[in-house]
Amino acid sequence: MDRIKITGGAPLHGVIPISGAKNAALPLMIASLLSEDVLTLTNVPRLADVALLARILGNHGLDVTIAGKRPGELELTGQTVRLDARSIVDTTAPYELVSRMRASFWVLGPLLARMGHARVSLPGGCAIGTRPVDFLLMAMERLGAKIEIENGYAVAEAKNGLKGAEIDFPKVTVGGTHVALMAATLAEGTTVIHNAAREPEIVDVADCLIKMGAKIKGAGTSTIEISGVSRLQGAHHRVISDRIEAGTYAMCVAMAGGDVMLEGAQPELFENALDVLREAGAEIAATNEGIRVRRNGHGIDPVAVTTEPFPGFPTDLQAQLMGLMTKAKGKSRITETIFENRFMHVQELARLGAHIHLDGQTAIVEGVSTLKGAPVMATDLRASVSLVIAGLAAQGDTVVNRVYHLDRGFESLERKLAACGAQIERISGEG
């Protein structure tokens, strides 16, 4: 099992290319199930989750072709993924695949919309909370599907096709919005999604579906209207840049100090997080190339943040911000409102010398002047990178174990940081 070793203290200088957004690429790949024609996606990140979803879609009969680096392209240029769902041969998504990636449960909507039936394993537990699929199933039932839970599977039928309906989510749900949006494109009549998620990744999926012939209004607002069509065509679509990756590297620079251009980052996708970083003392400037982040000569100021659905501070940057605040000059308050049990990184940060007190869903982080390197264990994707951020400023060596979590969501993290001067390397072997 690979590990990542970081020797803290080196400032970061240079350019970090920002990859395509994982949280857009995965639902975009799933959306290919809606059409008999080829969907070609560019700027797809090279991630373990992308490769796993390609396998899962292949199980349904899709022909998935992933083209890597071409002559003349930069080393970290995104992949091109070609998805051909001409023949769907299996509408069952088995437990052994769904249990490895919760987002794969979302195939339920497109399979129902196009094939009229689907049998998809319930995803089971999750390290950062239950993340129930109740809202997603409710949305499919509102569209006319009949759903039974049998032996751990959601068995859904819509023999006469899905029908447009009003879907009112009691709570903002990104997964529910993605699935309702995809399924409604082929439903007969008009569907209106109320209290829809507004994340940029929702907008990116809607933009792609519109290229495929879908009729969608209001994506990016809390009310989305979809007029169903009889079929969708193929399309070419470029995945938006990853705002979570960009925010993470911005926090790396704020922690280590230095001056880095986040090439291809789109500031409009995470303004709230950039404002928090400015409050913490980082200099942030949008340019034609991306976002320039600097922190030179002064310390990190404490902040008070509550995670919220977009456009609020993203839960997927909460762990990284906590890593940064371990060295702030004073007390920070970080409140998590999206997922329960998303403070599993606290005890590992404490191993580096962080002072963090938990009060329910709020973490009070008392900044310390010195962190000291230690072996630590990654518990999930975002928690693992918070340990990397802390390690960049810790004295001595920090060794992060279980980095397969990192590989699920960060493309070539150690190579990108090392290119900017970080003393970081991947160690292969048991750990």
Q: Are residues 10 and 103 in the same domain?
A: no
Q: Give the rounded percent of residues in the chain with a pLDDT score beyond 70.
A: 95
Q: Are residues 71 and 200 in the same domain?
A: yes
* 338 labeled part of a ligand binding site: yes
User: Which residue in 187, 183, 184 sits closest to 163, CA to CA?
Assistant: 187
Could you read off the pLDDT of 165-193 as tens digits, one per residue?
A: 999 999 999 999 999 999 999 999 999 99
Could you read off the pLDDT of 390-425 as tens digits, one per residue?
A: 999 999 999 999 888 898 889 999 999 999 999 999
Domain tally, the chain: 2
CA atoms within 13 A on the CB side of 159: 0
Q: How far apart are CA 273 and CA 323, in angstroms?
A: 14
Q: How far apart are CA 263 and CA 266, in angstroms?
A: 9
Q: Are residues 354 and 248 in the same domain?
A: yes
Among 174, 207, 238, the domain-final residue is 238
Q: Are residues 390 and 254 in the same domain?
A: yes
* 316 labeled part of a ligand binding site: yes
Residue 131's pLDDT band (boundaries 50, 70, 90)? low
* Residue 222, domain CATH: 3.65.10.10
Q: How far apart are CA 329 and CA 217, in angstroms?
A: 46
Q: What is the average pLDDT across 256-280?
A: 97
Q: Are residues 396 and 255 in the same domain?
A: yes
Q: Collapse the DSSP code of 236 into the 3-class scheme (helix H, G, I; strand E, B; otherwise coil) and give the result.
A: strand
Could you tell me the residue range of the domain that residue 196 belongs to?
A: 22-238
Q: Give the rounded percent of residues in the chain with a pLDDT score beyond 90.
A: 85
Q: Are residues 197 and 268 in the same domain?
A: no
First CA to last CA across the chain, in angstroms?
A: 6
Q: Interhelix angle for 22-31 vs 174-184, to 10°?
A: 30
Q: What is the average pLDDT across 230-258?
A: 98
pLDDT for 379 equals: 84
Tokens coding 82: 């070609």
Q: Which stretches of 104-242 are DSSP H helices?
A: 108-115, 134-142, 174-184, 200-211
Q: Collapse the DSSP code of 424 into the 3-class scheme (helix H, G, I; strand E, B; otherwise coil) and give the result.
A: strand
Catalytic annotation on 252? no
Tokens coding 127: 């390290």
- Bridge partner list, 427: 3
* 102 labeled part of a ligand binding site: yes
Q: Is the pLDDT of residue 125 over 60?
A: no
Q: Is the pLDDT of residue 300 over 50?
A: yes
Region for 36 from its dihedrals, namely left if φ exceeds 0, alpha if ψ lies in -120 to 50, beta otherwise:
alpha
Q: What is the average pLDDT across 257-275?
A: 97
* 364 labeled part of a ligand binding site: no
Residue 336 identity: E
- Bridge partner list, 15: 261
pLDDT for 130 equals: 47
Among 192, 214, 238, the domain-final residue is 238
Q: Are residues 268 and 311 in the same domain?
A: yes
Q: Is the pLDDT of residue 77 over 90?
A: no
Q: Is the pLDDT of residue 296 over 90?
A: no
| 14: phi then psi, degrees, rounded to nearest 5 | 140, -150
Q: Are residues 77 and 163 in the same domain?
A: yes
Q: Is the pLDDT of residue 359 over 80?
A: yes
pLDDT for 31 equals: 98
Catalytic site residue from 126, 208, 252, 420: 126
* 296 labeled part of a ligand binding site: no
- Strands of 143-268 (E only): list them: 146-150, 153-157, 166-168, 190-194, 215-217, 223-227, 235-238, 258-263
User: Which residue in 410, 425, 414 sits closest to 18, CA to CA?
Assistant: 410
- Bridge partner list, 263: 17, 290
Angle at Cα 139 formed by Cα 133 and Cα 144, nearest 5°?
130
Q: Is 297 exposed, middle or buried (0-12, 13-18, 19+ CB in 10 A)?
A: exposed
User: Which residue in 55, 118, 63, 61 sits closest to 91, CA to CA?
Assistant: 118
Q: Are residues 233 and 265 in the same domain?
A: no
Q: How confident is the prediction for the chain on average, in pLDDT?
A: 93
Q: Are residues 297 and 353 in the same domain?
A: yes
